[in-house]
Amino acid sequence: MQLQVMNSPFNQEQAELLNRLLPTLTETQQIWLSGYLSALHSTASSVTSGANLQAAPVAAEALSPTSYPAASQEVTVLFGSQTGNGQALAEELSRRLEERGFQVTLSSMSDFKPNGLKKIRNLLVLVSTHGDGDPPDNALPFYEFLHSKRAPQLEDLRFSVLALGDSSYEFFCQTGKDFDQRLEELGGKRLCPRTDCDLDFDEPAAEWFQSVLGTLTETLEVPAVVTEVTMAVENGQLSQQLAYSRTSPFEAEVLENLNLNGRGSNRETRHLELSLEGSNLQFEPGDSLGIYPQNDPVLVDTLINEMGWNPEEPVPVNKKGDERPLRDALLSNYEITVLTKPLLELAAPLCSSSDLRQLLESGREQELKTYIKERDLLDLVRDFSPWGVTAGEFVSILRKMPARLYSIASSLKANPDEVHLTIRTVRYDAHGRDRFGVCSVQCSERVQPGDTLPVYVHHNPNFRLPANPDTPLIMIGPGTGVAPYRAFLQEREETGAGGKTWLFFGDQHFLTDFLYQLDWQKWLKEGVLTRMDVAFSRDTDEKVYVQHRMLEKSRDLYQWLQEGAHVYVCGDEKHMAGDVHATLAAILEQEGGMSPEQAGAYLAGMQQQKRYQRDVY
């Protein structure tokens, strides 16, 4: 029987909710719910009448949430995240679990005490991969523990892993794969299979959420009514979420676009100032800005000509089936400058040539890797023609255009409604053609003041100023790695923070590449910046890098560390970040008399206390 306003004490909205909920309940759930409501009622009346709490009816007692072993409704969500994606997803998942009645423990892997692992029954791991298949900084200690002999057997554990990554890397989602495999080796059972997410992670992550929430709700029997109400609340919240975000970027007007490098420099670095007026976007020093770029129109037109397509032909731009003219879709919606193995696998059945299929055969991995490197879609279509496919079929195998992140170089307190960026232009030659970084070259060549760019704020809780304004800061940032420190010092100037600050900056030439030189000099004069050491690598016969300057000042640097300084490293991930890390360890050994193991542990401890943070790319 359908509940109606006329035949029940419920209003229209409640009747509709219940009519949707009740037919979905199993018999056990119905009995449970009736017992739960009676228990709730009897408890409430006992309290209001001031009498002692009475025992709940048997059905409710047998089935109420509190009567399950406490552990069964507990879910631990652990995240390992460098740039914040995994953390944001873990927070969202925890919120949804809590709304469904689960007791959730949410923790960064670096804050998690591994000796508690044995007690956990339900574990959800969200972890990205960085470096070359390496765990993010805050996952490393837990990763190492789990892969060591000290890791306990976990026969009572149920787990699932959401792996974040980028399929253009050789070791795609490697850290997630490692956790998944290791937890199984230790005896854990999968709640749901691992999901590997590419840069466009929204859809697969949402599917994984649904899958783990479904399995946990089914097997742990949390109050189903909570789930239904939660869905209503979530829908309400979703409709209120009109804020600009990664999936709904704000069109920010370009106010300023300058080259920071002097004439004669090898490099070009754009200082962009964008207006956030009307967006209500907020950020803190340490956050990044995401920009959705456009592909080079010359490359798009060459590709369309090469394939003999009609630029106006409507093609799909998403799974919902929305369409745009081909040229617009290739400019804005699809990635055309990166080749990946998954893309080649999808492309192989579409081309008549057997060469591509042969390249993908096992045993030719190295050849494939060499082919993919520094080639783009234009190379692919030229090298493996003829292609007997429509433009629509072809674009549907492409990855969505990923946003590019840029460390924010300004403070909202100092520049309300604005965001400043420091963007190094990527240009190089490969396989006989000039190659242009999509976003950086767009910003350099095709973006004028007055134009707009689609942007969003990417919060990075792993790169933050210390809460205590008196804490000393050591900031290491060669090249564009210096960008966030401009934001840090603007913020400290505005807030009048009293802590000492020390900047290590490096680039190629003093005369042409001293980014934001006037800003640093002004802050040095005013005392906002206490010390600055610079390393211009190509002004001397021998290369000089920031870590050389750190070593030269090792005694003072150690003293600052002893005084509780926070250390920040930003910029190149491949070489600089590792070299600077090794130098910090060397300074601890030299000045603190530590063994290599002690120095390593000291730095790991600093990372865990968030006194050593890195924003490297």
Ligand X SMILES: Cc1cc2nc3c(=O)[nH]c(=O)nc-3n(C[C@H](O)[C@H](O)[C@H](O)COP(=O)(O)OP(=O)(O)OC[C@H]3O[C@@H](n4cnc5c(N)ncnc54)[C@H](O)[C@@H]3O)c2cc1C
Ligand Y SMILES: NC(=O)c1ccc[n+]([C@@H]2O[C@H](COP(=O)([O-])OP(=O)(O)OC[C@H]3O[C@@H](n4cnc5c(N)ncnc54)[C@H](OP(=O)(O)O)[C@@H]3O)[C@@H](O)[C@H]2O)c1
Nearer to ligand FMN, 162 or 212 (CB): 162
Residue 373 near ligand Y by CB under 6 A: no
Respond yes or no on whether the N-terminal peptide bond of residue 386 is cis (omega within 30° of 0): yes
Closest separation between CB of residue 515 and ligand X, Å? 10
What's at 235, amino acid-wise?
Answer: N
Residues from 81 through 100 that contact ligand FMN (CB under 6 A): 81-86
Which partner from the list ligand X, ligand Y, ligand FMN, none does 355 bind, CB cut-off 5 to 8 Å by kind? Answer: none
The DSSP code sequence of 244-285 is -BTTB-EEEEEEEEEE-SPTT-S--EEEEEEE-TTT-----T
Among positions 35, 136, 249, 571, the unique one binding ligand FMN when judged by CB under 6 A? 136
Joined tokens for residue 83: 């740039």
Per DSSP, 514 falls in state -
Q: Which of 231, 228, 176, 224 is nearest to 198 (CA)?
A: 176
Which tokens hold the place of 374?
Answer: 């520094």
**Of residues 172-191, those binding ligand FMN (CB under 6 A):** 172-174
Report whether 244 contacts 290 (CB < 8 A): no
In this chain, which stretch among 77-85, 309-317, 476-484, 605-613 interacts with ligand Y, using CB under 6 A? 476-484
**Quick one: the chain helix, strand, coil %, rounded to 5?**
45, 20, 35
Closest approach, Cβ 30 to ligand Y, in A, equals 55
Number of H helices, E strands in the chain: 23, 21
Lookup: tokens for 246:
């990664």
One residue of 473, 561, 576, 584 binding ligand Y per CB under 6 A: 576
Nearest distance from residue 37's CB to ligand X, in Å? 50
Does the footprint of ligand FMN cover residue 572 (CB under 6 A)? no
Provide the phi-psi class of 445: left if phi over 0, else alpha when psi is between -120 and 50, else beta. Answer: alpha
Q: Residue 176 CB, nearest distance to ligand FMN (Å)? A: 8
* Cα–Cα distance, 304 to 412 (Å, whole number): 43
- Give the x-and-dash track for 406-445 against ligand X (CB under 6 A): xx--------------xxx-x-x-x------xxxxx----
Interface residue with ligand Y among 480, 501, 607, 613 (CB under 6 A) is 480
Interatomic CA distance for residues 222 and 226, integer angstroms: 8
Residues 407-426 that bind ligand Y (CB under 6 A): 424, 426
* Binding flags for ligand Y, 536-575, as an x/- string (CB under 6 A): -xx----x-xxx-----------------------xx-xx
The one among 508, 554, 583, 607 contacting ligand Y by CB under 6 A: 508
What does 169 bind: ligand X, ligand Y, ligand FMN, none (CB cut-off 5 to 8 Å by kind)?
ligand FMN
Nearer to ligand FMN, 123 or 329 (CB): 123
Choose the contact partner of 99 out of ligand FMN, ligand Y, ligand X, none; CB within 5 to 8 A by kind: none
> Helix 12-21 to helix 224-240 angle, to the nearest 10 degrees?
120
For residue 123, give Cα distances in angstroms to 134, 152, 174, 208, 419.
21, 15, 19, 14, 39
**DSSP annotation of 118:** G
Judged by beta carbon, residue 88 or residue 347, the one nearer ligand FMN is 88
Residues engaged in binding ligand X (CB under 6 A): 83, 288, 293, 337, 374, 404-407, 422-424, 426, 428, 430, 437-441, 480, 483, 615, 617
Contact residues for ligand Y, defined by CB under 6 A = 424, 426, 478-480, 506-508, 537-538, 543, 545-547, 571-572, 574-576, 579, 617
